[in-house]
Structures are given as C-alpha cells and as structure tokens.
Amino acid sequence: MSLSAQPTASLFIGGKPVEGQGADLPVRYALTGETIATLKEASTDQVAQACAAAKAAQPAWAAMAPVERGRILGRAAAIILQRNDELARLETLDTGKPIQETLVADWPSGAAALEYFAGLAATLTGQMIPLGADWAYTRREALGVCAGIGAWNYPSQIACWKAAPALVMGNTMVFKPSEETPLGALKLAEIFIEAGMPPGVFNVVQGRGEVGAALVTDPHVAKVSLTGSVPTGRRVYAAAAEGMRHVTMELGGKSPLIVFDDANLEDAVSAAILANFYSSGQICSNGTRVFLQEGIKEDFLARLAERVKAVRMGDPLDPDTNHGPIINAAQAEKIRTAIRAGQASGARLVCGGEGEGPFIPPTVFADATDDMTIATDEIFGPVMTALSFADEDEVIARANGTGFGLAAGVFTQDLTRAHRVIAALEAGTCWINTYNLTPVEMPFGGVKMSGLGRENSAAAIEHYSQLKSVYVGMGGVDAPY
C-alpha cells in the first residue's frame, strides 16, 4: 500500500494551491521515518501575499449575512463527515496516531466545531441600552485578519477549532500548521472552497519559526491564536504585543488528576489512562500528576499496571493498534531523557520504560515527590507521575503548586467535595469523575502560564470580535458656550 500523501501544492493562498518558495519541508511517517510528502516553506513574500489576500477578502466576507457564513461552515462540516475515512487515514499518516483514534477524535471534532459555530451565526448580535430619552447600542464586529498557528498533536482539529469562530464572525484567516504535520490544513482549505467559501477567506502557509514570526508581525494581522508550548507562546505573545494584536494562547500543562479514597477505582483508572496515554501521551491537557489518596494508592497502581498490559503498539494504520509511535525521533528522545531522570531521582517505575524505536510504552512512576522533574516539567509523552496525599487541603495546595494551569480533574463520590475542590484548583478546564472530554459546547483554555483566551463555545466569539459602542442622541445638544 502506497503511503504517499503528496498534496497538489504546499500552500493555499487566495483560493488556490500555490507552491512554496522556501526550504524543503519533509513529512515523515512516524512509524518508519519514511518521507510520505515533501512540501516547501512559504517565503516571506508569500506570507505577505497570504495576509494581503485575507485582508482583501475580509470586507465582503464580513458584509455577508451571518447565516450565509454559517451555511458555508455547515456544508464544510458535512463534507468532512462524508469523507471521514480518507481524512482519518491522512491524519494518521501525518501524525502517527492510531487510525482507531483519528476516525473518532480528530476530523469529527473539527466538523463538530464547524457545525456548532454555523448554528451560532445568526445569534451574534449586539445590545440595546436605554438611557432615558437617549439610548445606546453595541455592534459586535470582526477583528479583521486572524493568524492561526497550530500544534502537531491534533493538527486538523486545531485548524477547525480556530477557523470556525473566526470565520463565522466575519474575520478571515491565515493558518500555519506545525511543520511536523502540514497536510490536514491544506485539505480543510480545499473543503472550504468546495463548500462555497470565497477565495482568500482561509489561507494556509507552511514553515518553521521564521514563517510563524513573519505571519505574527504582518501589518494586516489583527489577531493571533496559537496552540503550542509555553516557550513558543512567550515569543509569539511578545511579537503580537508589538502591534497591539489580540491574542489567544492555548499552551502547555502539568495538570493534576486527584483521586480520593472513595472514588470508583475502575473509572479513575480509566481516566488516568485517557489522561496520560491516549495519543501516546501527546495531549496538552493531560493529567500527568496523578494525586492518589493514601487509602486507594496501591490498589489504584496495581489495577493500572494490569490494565496497561492490554496496550497494543504497532502500525497506526492497523485498526487493532491502540498506542502509536511518537511523532519523531527528537521528541522520543526528549521523553526518554525524562524517563531516565525519573529513574535517577528515585521514583519507583511501576510499568513501562524507554521502549524501542518510535514506541514508548505507557510508563508509570510512583512514590514521586513534588520537586522531581517528572512532577514539574511537561514531558508530552506517555509518562504518568503518581504522588500520594493525606487530605484535601494538602492536595489542593500541592496541585496548585505549579506555574501551569491548563486543566485539572477530581475523582470522588462526594459531589460536595468534588465541587469544592474544583473551585479551589487554579485551572481553566476541569473535569469531575471523567477526564479529557472537550465538547465544542464547552469553553477550553488555561490560566497562569497555560495561556489566555478560550477556544470553543460561545465564549470563543469574545476572542474573535470587538464591540463598537454607539450613543444615539434623541434631543438637542447642550454646550457651555
């Protein structure tokens, strides 16, 4: 079976494929390292062309009736769902994630975002404010050109999550996917055109950091939305601030998953698996610090070790594979370095380890302390750190003892305690008795160093629009002279 995934061209500008003029950008299959496509980066001039195309298309797109914009997004969602099998295969080739995941979690989530915001389109209204004889009103207006910068773990989902609220509000977008996973965004651009979107409304540029920097600082760009690491977020935020651009930052985490003694053991173990090993652990919101109350600790670890024996590592195109390869050799080595550090620090290795080749098995450390690097640093791989605790006040303080604040979870059958603890945790996205479910209807994002702004839900509209206030005088105008 051919693994070639070569697109028509590397970029998508002004409604059509355009070949890049920059350096080669090889796309490698994570399982074998085989090159399945070779793209070219955008030149600085091509980034400017994409932003100019988006700027030129924006006034007519914003002038369109919101429900018409919504219909186009809805048609795009229908096309995605109709072609989900082939799109899932492309996503697996691009990311190395198992096909059993990409069939249900990647493009379908993107389609759900397009559907949701399509339905929201006609509700995007302002407010009338009575002021006696006079009155005022607000208009919710587009920002203009939005720059979207994606990550490699959920490339097509992220492209849809950023595009949907931006476009339905009347903005246009230039999207730069991760250089590791550049293929899905090109498909999305084609699908948008097929669905009736005018040329220039959604554009794609490819490249590494220099291309991203050129995009963020382009004078046409009014808004920057990034999904990435905290160090990248710092640089992009600083560059965006120079032009007073609006920003959304969805960054990394070292999130706590707290399991109290009274939790349903099997459900809590299932959540820990989802919170640490799904997508081979390459998820920003993962609950990688698992706090176990002393009474449940050993039973939990024993059951978890038993459950992970069912892991099946292998070809991600095999429907039976449930644990795929790491995205590339450099990331695998970073994870292995973290595992070695965990072993050297004296933490107990319950299961897993360094693995071989592109695979790293589900790895669990126990008896860790809060100051170990496996408990402080984001690893972005299938590595879970278990810490024990005695009481509620202690675990809240320790869970909050991090600069991150993306996500958190609590398992307990005492719902009063569950809500009390969640209220005390410094995290933007939280779960009670489940983990890592991110429906488009619910806002998603972090606090502290994990970012600002929100993706998804009606809350996302706030970050892709601005309010214009209009005072209406209904009588004469008094002046002092």
**Residues acting as catalytic residues:** 162, 250, 284, 455
- Beta strands 289-293; 348-351: pairing state: unpaired
Mapped onto helix, strand or coil, the DSSP state of residue 459 is helix
Q: Which of 251, 225, 258, 227 is nearest to 240 (CA)?
A: 225
The token pair at 451 is 């970012």
CA–CA separation, 347 and 10 (whole Å) = 46
- Which residue in the block uniquely carries the two structure tokens 């950008």? 25
CA–CA separation, 209 and 235 (whole Å) = 10
Q: Are 11 and 42 in contact (CB under 8 A)?
A: yes
- All residues at 6 or more sequence positions from 69 whose CB lies less than 8 Å from its CB, including other chains: 61, 121, 167, 168, 170
- All residues at 6 or more sequence positions from 49 whose CB lies less than 8 Å from its CB, including other chains: 13, 14
CA–CA separation, 118 and 139 (whole Å) = 19
Q: How far is CA 324 from the centre of its chain?
A: 19
The token pair at 99 is 């096909």
Q: Which of 29, 52, 28 is nearest to 42 (CA)?
A: 52
Q: How far is CA 20 from the centre of its chain?
A: 26
